[in-house]
Amino acid sequence: MHNHDISHDITIATQIARGMAAFYITNVSRQHGGLYSCYYYSNLFRSNHSEQVKLMIIDQMLGKPNISFSSVDQITLGSNFTIRCQSPHEDVEFYFQNANTQVMHQTTANHFIIGRADPRHGGNYQCSYTRHSEPFISSEPSNSLLLLLTDPSLPRPSLSLSSVVVSVGETVSLQCQAKTGPTQPASPSLQSRTTIKALPVVTALRRIFFVISEPSTPVEFLVIDRRLHTPTISIVTSQLIAPGAQVNITCTTNGGPANFYLHKAGDPVPKQLMKAHNHVGIFSIGNISREDEGNYSCSYACLDRLLLVSQPSNFLELLISGPHTPNLGISEPPDYTLINIIRFAIGSLILFLLTYVIIRDQQLQRKHGLKVR
């Protein structure tokens, strides 16, 4: 084997098996970096040199570079994008490598442009650099940067939660359902006992791991912070509500500006959300109907911790009376008109039957010649 930069052959132990030789370099030093080729020979001839390979020696004293994409948005199939590598030194040469294809790109620029992206361009990228004074002494590779390519033709998945409001320490399951063939999650598993913000989830085809769908609609769940004051709930007006009227429900806390949530028992999703600039939130239910009947509670989140909510208030029961008339805990007087009509009809029927019996009895007595006293 020949090192072209040292300009002479290097005596290296070899192991030959079936026309192949394994070369070992022990105790590697900086001088071993360079371009290598090999050849073989017999007693009569010697072959030409093979193609050259480059051996890079990593110097951990060189600063580690940073790798990034030029765009933080999703990168779609067929689009152009740029990968950048930032070095702490000047006058350097950069190397970009895709771990999926093992192809390395060398350039003097600190960026690498990929045009018309296709599935082959997906994968984990790293970059490194060498200084011009020592072209075969390389820095450590940067951290890996995962490139996922979005395919707009794939249907969006749907994301659902087992619960929208949970306490610290509870388990929440998130189910991502795709509308296509076999898929696998393209996002890390979600295991958190604190707060997870609005979270889009994507799916990737099993056979093309780096081609993904567009993200699902974001979902959000709230974590109960038991240190927050429990609010109180009340109804602004207690008068009888006419059909189609409006009900105002008030949620009060001793905190400052907050987001208030209105919850209905049996519905896992908060019914309403409102922002308030003080400690009171007012929820309005317009055109009230029997569907609005039920038990309501409220909670709130401080503006500086929007996803940490208080425990819910006590329940407030909203009752709807009559076929169409709403009522808030006030009973409407019963209608006695129909009852009185039924009673009058029954009494009249009894009186008619008694009269008929008396008259019939008198007729029978006359027929037999009996004197009625």
What pLDDT was estimated at residue 196?
Answer: 38
Q: In 3D, which of 254, 250, 236, 230 has the Cα closest to residue 314?
A: 230
**Tokens 């990228």 belong to which residue?**
125
Per-residue pLDDT band at 167 (split at 50, 70, 90): confident
Most confident region among 48-57, 72-81, 154-163 by mean pLDDT: 48-57
Helix and strand counts by DSSP (H, E) for the chain: 1, 32
DSSP 8-state assignment for residue 238: -
Query: Does pTM top 0.75 for this prediction?
Result: no
The mean per-residue pLDDT over the stretch 206-220 comes to: 79
pLDDT at 65 over 70: yes
Amino acid at 314: N
Residue-wise pLDDT for 96-106, tens only, equals 998 877 778 88
Q: Contact at 8 Å (CB) between 123 and 92?
A: no
Q: What average pLDDT does the segment 105-110 reach? A: 88
pLDDT at position 34, please?
Answer: 92
Q: Which of 89-98, 184-193, 361-370 has the highest mean pLDDT?
A: 89-98
Q: Is the pLDDT of residue 93 over 90?
A: yes
* pLDDT > 90: percent of the chain: 22
- The pLDDT, as a whole number, for residue 197 is 40
More confident of the two residues 41 and 310: 310
- Please, where are the H alpha helices in the chain? 337-367
pLDDT in tens, 243-256: 677 888 899 998 77
pLDDT at 361: 76
pLDDT at residue 258 is higher than 70: yes
At residue 305, the pLDDT reads 85
pLDDT confidence of residue 369:
63
Q: Is the pLDDT of residue 110 over 80?
A: yes
Q: Which of 5-19, 36-50, 207-221, 354-368 has the highest mean pLDDT?
A: 36-50
Q: What is the mean pLDDT of residues 55-60?
A: 92
Determine the residue type at 271.
K
In this predicted structure, what is the pLDDT of residue 324?
45
The per-residue pLDDT for range 309-337, each reduced to its tens digit, is 999 999 998 877 655 444 444 334 444 46
pLDDT at site 187: 46
Strands 75-76 and 149-150: parallel
Mean pLDDT, rounded, for 294-319: 89
What mean pLDDT do residues 93-121 have?
Answer: 87
Contact 13, 21 (CB under 8 A): no
- Rounded to the nearest integer, the mean pLDDT of the chain is 79
Alpha-carbon distances, residue 368 vs 133, 243, 361, 372 (angstroms): 148, 69, 11, 11
Residue 324 exposure: Cα atoms within 13 Å on the Cβ side: 5
Q: Is a pLDDT exceeding 80 seen at residue 32?
A: yes
Give the residue-averaged pLDDT of 137-162: 90
pLDDT mean over 173-182? 76
Count Cβ atoms below 10 Å from residue 104 Cβ, excluding itself.
Answer: 14
